[in-house]
Structure 1
Amino acid sequence: MKCTTCFHQCEIPEGGRGFCRARICENGKIRPDNYGCLTSLTLDPIEKKPLYDFHSGSLILSAGSYGCNLRCPFCQNYEISQENLHGRSLYVSPEQLVEEAKKYVPAGNIGIAFTYNEPMIGWEYMRDTAKLAKENDLQVVVVTNGTASQEALEEILPYVDAFNIDLKGFTDPVYQSYAGSLEQVKAFIERAAKDAHVEITSLIVPGKNDSLDQMDQQAKWLASVDPDIPLHITRYFPRWKETEDPTDIEQMKQLQKVAENHLHRVYLGNV
């Protein structure tokens, strides 16, 4: 059977598992093996997503599962994103997660964020939970690499208030090195921005996506979608398989100036 959740279009045999390690073929159907399987559940500041222009100063209950359809060597959450943790996770139903979120509303929680691993590979759980969340007046946030099909996006879009979408570079070679697709991410951003609040994060990795020309092209394209889209230019630190030195802060400031030629809101992160 073919999985259509992302551009990989994995042909998964009966009992097999896709590239993301979370979608399987069972009884002739593709389904998310990580449905409701949480590895992380934390009450975070909304700015940590990062979302700076969406209910700033609030908290949001942040839920993560396991698996990812990219292979970024600097992944900060590789322990959950690059593993099959089905037997080492806690099952939390959509109803249970919504009730948990409601408990923290008096403490400043505004809703639920799907984050930490790549949530779009388990879009069915997001859809079911987000629909219940909206029925209970909770905000829904998705932190994603954006490498998902338009069909999967349309399933969740009616119930999502805000996205933070990773734009890991603006060339095909950058995305190919991460087993990704720039064109699919661009299409995801364009569609999401029509119906939800969208902010973009670009982790600047030396030698990968730190050129001023690449940032100029990226910011110009984002401005063509909406010049008010916030862009977070974020500092990289060595992690997992990536040993390159941390991003030079002065270079980040130069990238910020370039992006500000096209975008109204450009932030530096991890500095």
Structure 2
Amino acid sequence: MEKQRYYPIMKTAEYWHMRDDGRIECDLCPRHCRMNEGQHGLCNVRRRVGDQLIAAAYGRACGLAVDPIEKKPLYHFLPGSKVFSFGTTGCNLTCGFCQNHHLSRSPEIEGTRISPEEIAETAIRHGCESVAFTYNEPTVFFEYAIDTAKACHARGLQTVAVTNGWIEPEPCAEFFTHMDAANVDLKAFTDRFYKKLCGASLQPVLDTLVHLRRKTDTWLECTTLLIPGWNDSPAELDAMTQWVVANLGSDVPWHFSAYRPTPQWNEAPATPLESLLQAQSIAKANGIKNIHLGNVHLATSD
């Protein structure tokens, strides 16, 4: 990519407050990190500088690439089109099995210095119809994503968020106002999984899904990475897909993906094809209409 002419300013973050004890508390996600001078939240990119919370990843993009929209995965939004994808460093979850561990848990804030307007212009030059905030968790670069979404919409591009959905209700409502489509990871249907493997909780993700479906025009698809012994039991899949149909409707496309062990996390074997087919069967029996299987060599829908 050509040298960029843009250098990010010290961008003040949104959604935080000063506590009586002198610490700053971040109100963006349910973790509510509390910071003294010089400290940062678990995400590593929301940092206290003086009496301000700074969005330290603003203007620093990682993984700039042109992808097929189906790679997000989105199979029912602008099908066959190209999407310009990027992320930053940082994440508000601690999933050991993360496929982009080098970005989500990077100790440094890295990336190409590029403005929201330059991202939109680059997407247009590459023939893309949309821009995706992906690779790491986009809500941790909340301000950068929203400013980029505005620049995209001003130029006729659509916007996509690939997200874990673990965000507080007020910023959730603002964030998805600017997103035309989202793929939300529902990683499991138990608090045990979220607490043990992600350092998080289930309910905020469910709340985000319900908000997206009932209170926005954002196109929604969802993904569940099936990890043997952790989130693939018939009982859990049955409960999850029943909840989906009851709360989101039967026409939300669902992607079940196969897990593959990585050097960072190998606490489970690779997902067998049988587990994916079982999930597909349970989801179909409970009424989900569009089911896709990922990371396997198989026809991907039924």
Q: Cα deviations across residues 156-190 of structure 1 (Å, max 9, x unaligned)?
A: 22221100000000001000011112101001111
8 Å CA contact 1:75–1:240 kept in 2: the answer is: no
2:96 to 70, 73, 92: 73
1:54 to 72, 77, 88: 77
How far did 1:203 drift?
0.2
Letter in 1 for 2:202: L
Bigger RCO of structures 1 and 2 (CA < 8 A, at least 6 apart):
1
How far did 1:56 drift?
1.1
1:126 aligned to 2:148? no
1:91 to 113, 122, 141: 113
Give runs of ≥4 in structure 1 deviating > 6 Å: none
Runs of 5+ consecutive residues of structure 1 not aligned to the other structure: none
Distance of aligned partners of 1:240 and 1:75 in 2 relative to their CA distance in 1, 3 Å threshold: farther
- Provide the aligned C-alpha RMSD in A: 1.1
Letter in 1 for 2:224: S
Alpha-carbon distance in 2 for matches of 1:183, 1:18:
21
Runs of 5+ consecutive residues of structure 2 not aligned to the other structure: 1-23, 297-302
1:209 aligned to 2:209? no
1:187 aligned to 2:207? yes
2:282 to 231, 251, 258: 258
How far did 1:6 drift?
0.5
Q: Cα deviations across residues 92-142 of structure 1 (Å, max 9, x unaligned)?
A: 11111111112122xxx1110000011111111111110121111101000
As a proportion of its length, which structure holds more helix? Answer: 1
Partner in structure 1 of residue 240 of structure 2: 218
How far did 1:144 drift?
0.5
How far did 1:30 drift?
1.7
1:167 to 183, 186, 191: 186
Q: Cα deviations across residues 47-88 of structure 1 (Å, max 9, x unaligned)?
A: 0000011111111000110001111111111011101332x3
Partner in structure 2 of residue 242 of structure 1: 265
Alpha-carbon distance in 1 for matches of 2:25, 2:240:
32
TM-score, normalised with respect to structure 1: 0.96
How far did 1:31 drift?
2.5
In the alignment of these two chains, the number of paired residues is: 267
Letter in 1 for 2:59: G
Letter in 1 for 2:47: I
Alpha-carbon distance in 1 for matches of 2:106, 2:133:
18
8 Å CA contact 1:14–1:27 kept in 2: the answer is: yes
Partner in structure 2 of residue 142 of structure 1: 161
1:82 aligned to 2:121? no
How far did 1:155 drift?
2.0
Letter in 1 for 2:199: A
Alpha-carbon distance in 2 for matches of 1:216, 1:161:
29
8 Å CA contact 1:22–1:84 kept in 2: the answer is: no
Alpha-carbon distance in 1 for matches of 2:156, 2:169:
26
1:17-32 equivalence runs, <5 A: 17-32=40-55
- Percent identical residues: 37
8 Å CA contact 1:39–1:64 kept in 2: the answer is: yes
